[in-house]
Structures are given as C-alpha cells and as structure tokens.
Amino acid sequence: MTQLISLLTSAVIFGTVILYGAVGEILTEKSGNLNLGMPGIMYLGGIAGLATAFFYEMYTPSPIPALSLALSFLAAVAASMLGGLIYAFLTITLRANQNVTGLTLTIFGSGLANFFGSSLTTLAGGVGQISVAATSQAYRAYIPALGGLGNFGKLFFSFGFMVYLAIAIALIAGWFLGRSRVGLNLRAVGEDPATADAAGINVTRYKYLATCIGAGISGLGGLYYTLDYIKGAWTTGSAIESLGWLAVALVIFATWRPARAIWSAYLFGVLYWVYNYIGGLTRSSVELFKMLPYLVTILVLVVVSMRRSKEAQPPRSLGLSYFREER
C-alpha cells in the first residue's frame, strides 16, 4: 500500500511538469501553431524563476519567501512568454517555417538556461551550486492538517500549490476551448484560418495571443520542475528537454483536450516511474521501461490516424502559416 501511494505521489509530481507543458502546447496548437520550441520555453521559464529567486535570496538580508515566490513566478511567466513571442513573430509575421523555428527555439532556450544555470554562481562571484532553499520551501508548502491525514492526505493534499494550479488551468483551458465564444473562434483559426478570417476573426491576433499565453503556461512546467520537483536547484543537461518532448507527446495522447491531459499526465507519470516498483530489473532493462510513455503515444497517434474520428484529429491547419493573399 505504501508502495502504491509513493508511486502515485511521484506520478502526480512528474505529471504536473508535463501537464503544464501540454496544456500550453494545446492552446498554441489550437491556433494552428505547432510550437516545437516548447522544451526551450520550459527551460526559459525554469531558469528565469530560479535566477530571480537566487538573486532575491542573495541580495536581501532576510528574504520573505512569499515575495520571492511571487517574483519568481512572474519572472518565469514573463520569460516564457518572451520565448513564445520570438516564435510568434518569426512564424506569424515573418512566416518562417514553424518546425524549424520551434527547434531553433529549443536549442536557444536550452542553451541559454543551461548556460546561466551552470554559471550563475560563477557570474555572481560565488562558488558551488545554485540553491534557493527558502523559496523552494514556499513552493512546496502544504496545509499540514490536511497533508497529515494518512494515505488519503498524502495522495491529495501533500503537494505544493502548483500541482492544484495545473489542474485548475487545465480545467479552465478545457472550458475555454470547448464552451467559450473566444475559444471557439480560436479553434476556427486553427482549423481553417481563411474561413475564420472571412468570418471577421482577427487571425493574427488570435495566433499571437494563443502562442504567447500558451508559452506562459508551458513555462510554468519548467518553473515547477526547478523550484518544486528538484527543490530549488539546477541540473545541467537535457532533463527538461526530454520532459518537454514528453509534454508534446502528451498533447497527442490527450487528443488535444486539456481536461483529458490531466489524468493522462499522471498516467505518464506512473508509466515513467513504474520500473522503481517492479522487482528484479537490471540497470539496462530499466531503460526499456522508460520507453513506455513514448511507445504508448505512438500507438495513440497511429490508432487516431487509422480511425479518422473527427473528434480526435490534430487542428487541420497545424504547422501551416497563413498568408491572406495566398488563398
């Protein structure tokens, strides 16, 4: 039982990172933009939040955790939206190819974040690794009375606030895309921009806003990773990148539905961690288990394309840029 609870809690924590990424990406893709720069955007969000907390804790004699939390949160959103803006400007205004621009953004974002992540302390004249313990504690705070309710409390109330925020954002995004007028307009843009344009929808504005807001949400995944998941530190390397691609996979798995992304994200978390709870695995067979989320995603991709069901398809203009004069 304890094993099951610990598998489920680690799945929720893992799932939250990619849930942010996926919900942001769904919003972006619904406008017809396939933003493969999402891993880069998650990097930008992660490093911006971490660096803000780092400098705040360093230059303030007695840092207030709540203020540091607010500052780093805003910095992460701002940095990732800036990343989204670069992508939006290049693909929407300058009509550059979406895939190539996205991949460039991923290279840029991961380079910038890893560069500052590993040299921030050197640049600030210090030694050792970045550590923002106080701020990270604020991110991971939960209500002790609820979190202490045995297994039940552990499973539902022992997480930092961003776990619940992710669920809330996903539910709101689901409502927005499925029920609100603006959301339906957005989907029209992603399905057929020319028709949406003719109906009087400002295609450019919708694409810009969806891409930038989507990037802001995705970036929170990086923030959650640095300040909660790995407790206010930086790991140089491609950890966030592989999570970012997993989030892209999650978009497919959830068939472009934010609400479905919630349980899918936790399922990915279970698939990813399950090797820990199966006895008798060697160091190498563990790696085969880590393949599971990707294999399952391919399966979904193939099944969706075979069934051709109307509901589960990617937005029809996904990946194409729109130029009114070229109709």
Partner 1 sequence: MTSHEPLIHIAKRDGMVWWRAWLVRLAAILLALVVCALFIFSVTRMNPLSVYASMWDGAFGTSRRVWITLRDMAMLLCIGVGLAPAFMMRFWNIGAEGQILVGGCATAAVMIYGGASLPSWALLLLGTAVSLLAGAVWGLIPAVFKARWNTNETLFTLMMNYIAIQITCFLIPKWENPVGSNAVGIINQKTQAGWFPKLFGQQYMLNVIIVLALTVAMFLYLRYTKQGYEISVVGESENTARYAGISVRRVIVRTMALSGAICGLSGFIAVAGSGHTISTGTSGGRGFTAIIVAWMAKFNTFVMILIALLLVFLEKGAIEIASKFKLTDYASDVVKGIILFFLLGSEFFIQYSVRLRHSHKKEVQA
Contacting residues toward partner 1, per CB under 8 A? 34, 36, 86, 90, 93-97, 99-101, 103-112, 114-115, 118-119, 122-123, 236, 242, 245-246, 248-249, 252, 282-285, 287-288, 290-291, 294-295, 297-298, 301-302, 305-306, 314, 319, 325-326
If we measure between CA atoms, which residue out of 248, 288, 252 comes closest to residue 272?
A: 288
Amino acid at 9: T
Identify which of residues 1 and 123 has a Cβ nearer to partner 1 in the complex.
123
Q: Report, in angstroms and rounded to the nearest whole number, the Rg of the chain calculated over CA atoms.
A: 20
User: Which bin fits 32, alpha (ψ -120 to 50), beta or left (φ > 0)?
Assistant: left
Identify which of residues 50 and 249 has a Cβ nearer to partner 1 in the complex.
249
Q: Maximum CA pair distance of the chain?
A: 63
Identify which of residues 106 and 211 has a Cβ nearer to partner 1 in the complex.
106
Written as six digits, the tokens of 129 are 């690794």
Identify which of residues 68 and 226 has a Cβ nearer to partner 1 in the complex.
226
Least distance in angstroms from the C-beta of 31 to partner 1: 17
Within a 10 A sphere around the Cβ of 188, how many other Cβ atoms?
Answer: 20
Least distance in angstroms from the C-beta of 138 to partner 1: 29
Least distance in angstroms from the C-beta of 247 to partner 1: 12
Cβ proximity of 1 and 150 under 8 Å: no
DSSP class of 225: I
Least distance in angstroms from the C-beta of 326 to partner 1: 7
Least distance in angstroms from the C-beta of 11 to partner 1: 19
Least distance in angstroms from the C-beta of 230 to partner 1: 18
Angle at 231 between CA 64 and CA 23, to 5 degrees: 100
Least distance in angstroms from the C-beta of 113 to partner 1: 8
Helices 65-88 and 133-140 cross at an angle (nearest 10°) of 90
Identify which of residues 53 and 246 has a Cβ nearer to partner 1 in the complex.
246
Least distance in angstroms from the C-beta of 309 to partner 1: 13
Identify which of residues 17 and 163 has a Cβ nearer to partner 1 in the complex.
17
Identify which of residues 152 and 287 has a Cβ nearer to partner 1 in the complex.
287
User: Which bin fits 60, alpha (ψ -120 to 50), beta or left (φ > 0)?
Assistant: beta
If we measure between CA atoms, which residue out of 17, 244, 202 comes closest to residue 92?
A: 202
- DSSP 3-state assignment of 261? helix
Identify which of residues 84 and 314 has a Cβ nearer to partner 1 in the complex.
314
If we measure between CA atoms, which residue out of 22, 104, 118, 113 comes closest to residue 76?
A: 113
CA gap 46, 39 in Å, rounded: 11
